Amino acid sequence: MPTTDHGVTSPSRARIGERTLRQDRWWLQPLTTFVVFSAFVVYATVRAFMGRDYYASPYLSPFYSPCLGDCVEGASDFGQPFAWWPLSAALIILIFPLGFRMTCYYYRKAYYRAFWLSPPACGVAEPHGAYSGETRLPLVLQNVHRYFWYAAVVVGLVLTFDVVLAFRPMPAEYAVGDGETSGIHMGLGTLLMIVNVVFIWLYTLSCHSCRHIVGGRLRHFSQHPVRYRLWTWVSRLNTSHGRWAWYSLFSVALVDLYIFLLATGTIQDLRFF
C-alpha cells in the first residue's frame, strides 16, 4: 500500500520513494504471527461455540474450565451456577483468558504488528494515515491488563486443579484389568495437561503487570527484600514472556484437541498406569 505524506515521505524528510529499504525478509515474522494467531482464533471460536466434546473423563478441556453452565456429567467441578445459560459453557469463562491475552503487552505487540501493520516491522512504513495509539477508547482499555491478570491467576488455579483431577482413576468401563477402578491414573492426557498448566503458569507469572505488582512499582527495593527477590524472579521469567505466550497458546489448543478426539471416540487415551 502506498504511504501518505504523513510519514517517511513527508516533505521535510530525505526524499526516498521506498516505504522501506530493508532487504531482509521482514515480512516473515508478521506473516507467521498472522497465520498462527488466525488459525488459533478460528479453532478456538469453533470449539467454544460447539458446546460439546469437551469432556472425556477424567479430562476437562481448558476452554471449558471451570464448566459453570449446563455441562455434561462429570465436568462440573464447581457446580452449575449458570445452568440457565443457553449457549456453550465456554462462553461464560473464556472472556478471562481471552481478555488476559488480548491486553497482554506481548500479544499487543504481536497483533499490532501482524494484524494492524502498525508497524508491520521496524523501519517499514505503516499504511495508516492517522494514529492515536492507546489513548482513546477502545484501546485505552488495554490499561486494565492487571485485572485480567488477577483473573488469570484464578484461571491458573482452576487449571491446576483440573490437572489434579486428571490423575483420577478411570470409570470402570475403561478399566484395563479386573477391578482397576481405584488409585491414581495417568495417561497421555494427564501429561499434556501438566505441560499445559506449566506453560500457563509461566505465561501468567511472567506477565508485565505481575512484575509491576510484585515489586516493580517500588522505588526502594532495598527496603523490601522479599518483594525485590520476587521481582528478580519474575523479571527473569519476563524476558521470555513472548515465548511462554506462544508455548501456552499451542499447549492449550493441543489439550483441547486431544480431549475432543477422545470425546468423539476418534482415538483412545494412551494410558501409562
Partner 1 sequence: MSYTLKLRIWRGDSDGGEIQDFPVEVSDGEVVLDAIHRVQATQAGDLAVRWNCKAGKCGSCSAEVNGRPRLMCMCRLSDFEQDETITVTPMRTFPVIRDLVTDVSFNYEKAKQLPAAKLGPRDADGKRRMAQVDVERGQEFRKCIECFLCQDVCHVVRDHEDNKEAFAGPRFFLRYAELDMHPLDTHDRRELAQGAAGLGMCNITKCCTEVCPEGIKITDNAIIPMKERVVDRKFDPLVWLGNKIGLRNKDVEGRTEV
Partner 2 sequence: MSDTNGPAEGRHPMTGNAMSGDARGGMERHAYDVVVVGAGGAGLRAAIAAHDAGARTAIVCKSLLGKAHTVMAEGGIAAAMGNRWPEDNWEVHFRDTMRGGKMLNNWRMAQLHAQEAPERVQELEDWGALFDRTEDGLISQRDFGGHKYARLAHVGDRTGLEMIRTLQQRAVSLGIDVFMECTVTDVFKEGDRVSGAFAYWRESGRFIVFDAPSVILATGGIGKSFKVTSNSWEYTGDGHALAMRAGASLINMEFVQFHPTGMVWPPSVKGLLVTESVRGDGGILKNSEGERFMFDYIPEFFRAETADTVEEADAWYEDKKNNRRPPELLPRDEVARAINSEIKAGRGTPHGGIYLDIASRRSPEFIRKRLPSMYHQFKELADVDITAEPMEIGPTCHYVMGGVEVDADTQESAVTGLYAVGECSGGMHGSNRLGGNSLGDLLVFGKRAGEHASTYAASLRGARPQVDEADVRAAQASALAPFEVEGGENPYSIQSDLQQSMNDLVGIIRTRTELEESLGEIEAFKERARTMVVEGHRQYNPGWHLALDLRNMLIVSECIAKAALAREESRGGHTRDDFPGPDPAWGTKNLVVTLDAAGTGVELHEKPLPEMPDELKGYFA
Asked if residue 132 binds partner 2 (CB under 8 A), the reply is: no
For partner 2, give the closer residue by CB, 222 or 266. Answer: 222
213 contact partners, CB below 8 Å, separation of at least 6: 146, 149
The CA-CA-CA angle for residues 177, 181, 182, to 5°, reads 125
Give the binding range for partner 1 (CB under 8 A) out of 5-13, 90-98, 158-166, 255-263: 5-13
Q: Of 169 and 216, which has the nearer Cβ to partner 1?
A: 216
State yes or no: residue 266 binds partner 2 (CB under 8 A): no
Q: Which is nearer to partner 2, 5 or 134 (CB)?
A: 5
Vertex 196, ends 194 and 197: CA angle to 5°?
70
Nearest approach in angstroms of CB 115 to partner 1 is: 12
Q: Is 236 in the site for partner 1 (CB under 8 A)?
A: no
Does residue 226 touch partner 1 according to CB under 8 A? Answer: no
Longest dimension (CA), the chain: 83
Q: Which amino acid is at 31?
A: L
Tell how far CA 44 is from the center of its chain: 11
Tell whether residue 135 is a contact of partner 2 (CB under 8 A).
no
Site for partner 2 in 1-20 (CB under 8 A): 11-12
Specify the residue, 57 or 103, whose C-beta has the smaller distance to partner 1. 103
**Residue pair 121/26 in contact by the 8 Å Cβ criterion:** yes
Q: Rounded CA gap, 168 and 185, in Å? A: 6
Q: Is 227 in the site for partner 1 (CB under 8 A)?
A: no
Which H/E stretch holds residue 158? helix 145-165
What is the distance between the alpha carbons of residues 153 and 142, in angstroms, rounded to a whole number? 18
166, 62 in Cβ contact below 8 A?
A: no
Report the residue count for the chain.
273
* ω into 138 cis (within 30 of 0): yes
The residue from 1, 46, 130, 226 that contacts partner 1 (CB under 8 A) is 130
Give which of 18, 48, 3 is closest to 256, Cα–Cα: 48
x-or-dash pattern for partner 1, window 170-209, by CB under 8 A? --------------------------------------xx
By CB under 8 A, name the one of 185, 211, 245, 247 that touches partner 1. Answer: 211
Q: Is 270 in the site for partner 1 (CB under 8 A)?
A: no
The contact set with partner 1 (CB under 8 A) reads 3, 6-8, 10, 12-16, 18, 20-24, 105, 108-109, 112-113, 118-119, 122-126, 128, 130-135, 139-140, 143-146, 208-209, 211-212, 216-222, 228, 238-239
